[in-house]
Structure 1
Amino acid sequence: MGPCVTNALSSRLTAEVRREGVRWAQEYTRGVASTPPTAVGPATGSGTAIAFWPDTDVFGTAQCSFAVLAERFRELAFLNRGLGISLIDERTPGGAARRMPFQAPGGTRDLVALLDAQVGSPVHPEVIGFEREDLRMAGNVEVALRWCGSRQERVRSFANSTRTPEGGAHELGFRDGVAAAVTSYARQRRLLTGADPDLRADQIGEGLTAVVSVKLDHPEYVGAALGGLGGAAVRPRVAEAVREHLGTWLEEHPEQAAAVVGGIIRRARRS
């Protein structure tokens, strides 16, 4: 959908595709093809290059912000581990082009570490993270999380590398899974008595920094601005994956688990 929207909002767009030794090109004017796909020469390798000119009749200005683009490309690098992105600004008159590369070998773990660096010391040093493919929701989920001494909660959710500011099924599933894993661990260690209720999702968020990213074959969005994610299969599948992985991590890291779970229970009993 993204390229279609870009094309419709551009006064001009050119698409160039390198495939099977041939370089193909096509031009569009305000979303309408002005030339057919044409073979314009030989090519090595494969790939696609898109060039577009924002339509000033729509936007009023065509000035692009380097800072805004840099922030978005940085985010894409975090969400797609191993992907390298370069932002090059050639608008400097008579000067060298400004270049900024982006790559995050740790993926979403690196993003959690970056967000945590802005708020204080972590409760446990390791960023917990995992990635799982699940055919039942026709996609995969990647999660990274860590608790810090801050009282603030920072949970960012994404669907197909696009921010979902209204959350949705994947974020709800994440919270369900965390609450279930922490409650189960606390009961096994007798940190919760039989009279204590299960921990709720809203009780595990203080000091929590997390990134929840799903990549789905057929995402279902909710809201006019597509700011939230739907899909009946997503919430239980994400919850299951988080519960299992976080539960295993808590079992394998008893000292760090005691600090995390103990703090959550103390805050829950005060509330």
Structure 2
Amino acid sequence: MYIGSVGEHGLHQMVFDVVGRAVNEVLAGRAGAVEVTLTSDGGVRVADDGPGMPVEAAGDTGAPGLETLLGRMHPGAEPRGRHAVATSLFGTGPCVTNALSSRLTAQVRRAGVHWVQEYARGVALAPPVGAGSTTASGTTITFWPDTDIFEATEHSFTALAERFRELAFLNRRLDISLTDERPSSAPRSTRFLFPGGARDFVAFLDAGAGAPVHPDVIGFEREDPRIAGTIEVALRWNDTREVRLRSYVNSTPTPQGGTHTVGFRDGLAAAINTHARERRLLAEATADLGVDRISDGLTAVVSVKLDRPEFSGATLGTLDGAAVRTGVAETVRAHLGTWLKRHPEQAAAVIGRILRKRSPEGGH
């Protein structure tokens, strides 16, 4: 199945398949914000203030339009590459959500006309109808999951908020809100907008994790033509033994890591060991500090955005590509090394803590 299951995971994937189009309108600079609402009657409303979907009935050509995107599988429904967020499991876009909904209403405000079209279980009840003039622009899609298909149709506000928050951390331009109007819960609304990007993400992950070893969240971003993409990294050590490493490719989590996380660990170890030796904190005869020891108490986010990502296996959970490993390693080594030199007091706190920790083998 194109959404993965008929349980809660699939139910939320229906939302992501519709939200993805709106999010990419913002990232492309055509829209300012996305609003997602869990409606009082069990539906989900997704609205953006972009130019509005093209409408074939109005003579719009040159891009997949309303009826194409909602009515049939279209291989180009979801944009790809570093400047887009892929939220559909198979790049199909909102047509799958439409097919699995008992009903769906699309409203498009485009070029001064307000268009409306109704669907039932993926089938258009009539062509798009002009419902009057408008000075606004944008697209609003409201759908009701089919109770004959899904085991349950109660969306989790918490699960949706977690993914929208994550997307906003990884894409500084994204402004997305989630509102709950259902009678079963108290009305609530949350807006996600994080100009600090991955730095803000690390600060969020670090909340309540223990006292930070250094106040600054270290962060840097670099475009690397060798990987046809960008690298963004943020990290901070705190006074725990837990390692919190989140990795992403084109804003999609990579739970099994891959060459970007291997490169991060390579660069981390190189920067710390180089600085420790330059400051004569390690004797010449002493072996380099191991990356597992260095990573104690580390919170980090590693995000790469690539034009042509390569993965190991069909699940897209592990990134491949030797150039990515090299590019991330060099970026981390150079930028972290510079930060250590420019912040000697914080660097001393970081390396001093590492040296005081026992290695996994029980040594010092």
TM-score of the two chains, using structure 2 as the length reference: 0.64
- 8 Å contact from structure 1 (residues 177, 242) kept in 2: yes
- How much does 1:46 deviate? 5.5
Shift of 1:88: 1.7
User: Which secondary structure does the structure 1 equivalent of 2:236 belong to?
Assistant: strand
* Equivalent of 1:248 in 320, 330, 338: 338
Give deviations 1:117-137, integer Å, cap 9, x for gaps. Answer: 222101101110111122221
**Could you say which residue in structure 1 is the equivalent of 2:189?**
99
2:288 matches 1:198:
yes
Q: 1:62 offset after TM fit, Å?
A: 1.9
Aligned length: 270
What SS does structure 2 have at the residue aligned with 1:4? coil
Is 2:109 the partner of 1:109?
no
Structure 2 regions of 5+ residues with no counterpart?
A: 1-77, 79-87
User: Which one of 145, 153, 163 corresponds to residue 72 of structure 1?
Assistant: 163
Listed one character per residue, the Cα deviations across residues 59-110 of structure 1 (whole Å, up to 9, x for unaligned) are 32222111211222222222222422111223228x9953222222322212
Greater shift, 219-228 or 125-134, is seen at: 219-228
Output the TM-score relative to the length of structure 1: 0.84
Give the one of 131, 141, 161 matched to 2:221.
131
Distance 1:82 1:233, change over 3 A: same
Distance 1:144-1:64 versus aligned 2 partners, 3 A rule: same
Cα distance in 1 for residues equivalent to 2:186 and 2:239: 44
Q: What's the counterpart of residue 153 of structure 2? A: 62
Tell me the secondary structure at the aligned position of residue 174 of structure 1: helix
1:187 and 1:212, CA in 2 relative to 1: closer, same or farther beyond 3 A?
same
Is 1:7 aligned to residue 98 of structure 2?
no
Instruction: Name the residue aligned to 1:180.
Output: 270
SS of the aligned residue for 2:265 comes to: helix
- Name whichever structure is richer in strand by fraction: 1
The 2-side partners of 1:19 and 1:69 are apart by: 28
For 1:189 and 1:157, how far apart are their aligned partners in 2?
31
Alpha carbons of structure 1 residues 237 and 29: separation in structure 2 relative to 1, 3 Å: farther
CA contact (8 A) 1:82 1:107 kept: no
Contact 1:7 1:52 in 2 (8 A): no
Percent identical residues: 61
The whole-number CA distance in structure 2 between the counterparts of 1:220 and 1:58 is 34
- Which of 308, 324, 328 in structure 2 is aligned with 1:218? 308
Asked whether the equivalents of residues 158 and 214 of structure 1 are also in contact (C-alpha less than 8 Å), the reply is yes
Structure 2 vs 1, CA of residues 147 and 13 (structure 1 numbering), >3 Å: closer, same or farther?
A: same
The one of 164, 177, 184 aligned to 1:86: 177
Question: Which residue, out of 200, 208, 211, partners 1:121?
Answer: 211
Return the offset for 1:180.
0.9
Pair 251,51 (structure 1): closer, same or farther in 2 beyond 3 Å: same
How many Å apart are 1:7 and its aligned residue?
Answer: 3.1
Q: What is the distance in 1 between the residues matched to 2:230 and 2:123?
A: 35
Q: Give me the CA root mean square deviation.
A: 3.0
Kept in 2: contact 1:145–1:208 (CA 8 A): yes
Residue type matched to 2:336 in 1?
A: L
Pair 253,88 (structure 1): closer, same or farther in 2 beyond 3 Å: same
Partner Cα separation in structure 2 for residue 137 and residue 35 of structure 1: 47
CA offset digits 1:111-166 (Å, max 9, x no partner)? 21122222210110111011112222122121110001111111111222222111
Following superposition, the deviation at residue 5 of structure 1 comes to 5.8
